[in-house]
Amino acid sequence: MLDNLNILLGVSGGIAAYKVVDLAGKLTAAGAKVNTVMTENACRLIGPKSFEAVTCSAVFTSLWSMPEEYKIGHIALVDWADIVVVAPATANIIGKIANGICD
């Protein structure tokens, strides 16, 4: 159903972050290729290895630790993606997106 759809999954530090592992697994099972980006707070709530296990892809936790194949990591990931999903979309992350805050 989602064959060869490239999904960039942004996981923020909300309590519902643990539910996103299930979402990532379902998207992968449906045929999508899922890359996951996690905020520092999301990593504190749930380990990146959980997402690596269900997506069979490395998880990006820092802009500064991107693999060399991503010359400018944050740009390459967005260029790769057909769709970007932010979940859970906390008030904090929605506010940052709305106001262009990129910390």
Give per-residue pLDDT as tens, 55-77. Answer: 999 899 886 665 555 555 567 78
Domain 6-99 has CATH 3.40.50.1950: yes
- Would you give per-residue pLDDT tens digits along the chain (103 residues)? 899 899 999 999 999 999 999 999 999 999 999 999 999 999 999 999 999 999 999 899 886 665 555 555 567 788 899 999 999 999 999 999 999 998 7
Residue type at 91 in one-letter notation: A
CA distance 66 to 94: 24
User: What pLDDT is attached to residue 74?
Assistant: 63
b/e string for 44-57 if b means 16 or more Cβ within 10 A?
A: ebbebebbeebbee
Domain ranges for the chain: 6-99
Tokens of 23: 């979402």
| 84 strand-pairing partners | 8
Half-sphere exposure of 94 toward its Cβ, with a 13 Å CA cutoff?
Answer: 6
The angle that helices 48-55 and 17-29 make with each other, rounded to 10 degrees, is: 10
